[in-house]
A and B are shown apart, each in its own frame.
Chain A
């Protein structure tokens, strides 16, 4: 059965710290991996990764994919209280008639001032 596992489930750090969130997957016919940030209710798109070893970067956030070891990491440097959110990882995998996203349970990140 296809699955996506995120770790840790929750994390509390202080402002200015660097954090690394993990996402491992066991998915047949992997197509892409996506990271979303969920602050209140609506998850918002961060990154899509399809190729191994190529880092995607946006400001203080960056992510990389390792297709050999089947995982991805999301790094946040110089964290701010506004980074507090649930970070969701999803893997695109084939379904009966199309592709669908298989989601991890998320990492709840709390940044203390």
Chain B
């Protein structure tokens, strides 16, 4: 079956702009988690959605938001982009959350 699909794969934005990233989970998976990965920092947890509800949230400013639709697809939005937001954004899906998450290929966001 199809894996986790993230779009777009690459994105270049200017400071102050906003961006929306999309994640389509594996069919049947209801949990989608988002992570930010920067060199040397590992994966930093942004938030998790389960059945259209945000279930967990990491320590990121309110500029980072997300939502999940009834088909479990999820979007992440970052407003007022800063240079420090340049990173690889990964989403992971699982049946109900937690372990054995399957990751997408990520969206590489560059803010200039």
**B81 contacts A by Cβ under 8 Å:** no
**A103 contacts B by Cβ under 8 Å:** yes
Q: A88-B43, A99-B98 are in contact. Are A44 and B103 (CB under 8 A)?
A: yes
Consensus secondary structure, chain A interface: strand
**A101 contacts B by Cβ under 8 Å:** yes
A43 touches B40 (CB 8 A): no
What is the interface size of chain A, counting residues whose CB is below 8 A from a CB of the partner? 27
Q: A41-B105, A42-B90 are in contact. Are A48 and B48 (CB under 8 A)?
A: no
Q: Which of B48, B90, B108 contacts A100 (CB 8 A)?
A: B48
A43 to B48, CA, bound (A): 17
Q: A101-B45, A104-B42, A105-B41 are in contact. Are A43 and B99 (CB under 8 A)?
A: no
Interface size class of B (residues with CB under 8 A): 20 to 34
Residues of chain A within 8 A of B88, CB atoms compared: 41
A98 touches B55 (CB 8 A): yes
B42 touches A105 (CB 8 A): yes
Q: Which of A9, A42, A100 contacts B45 (CB 8 A)?
A: A100
CB within 8 Å of B: which of A74-113?
A: 88, 90, 92, 95-106
**A residues in contact (CB < 8 Å) with B:** 6, 9, 32, 34, 36, 40-45, 48, 88, 90, 92, 95-106
Q: List 10 A-B contacts (CB under 8 A).
A: A32-B99, A41-B106, A41-B108, A43-B43, A45-B101, A88-B42, A92-B98, A92-B99, A98-B48, A99-B99
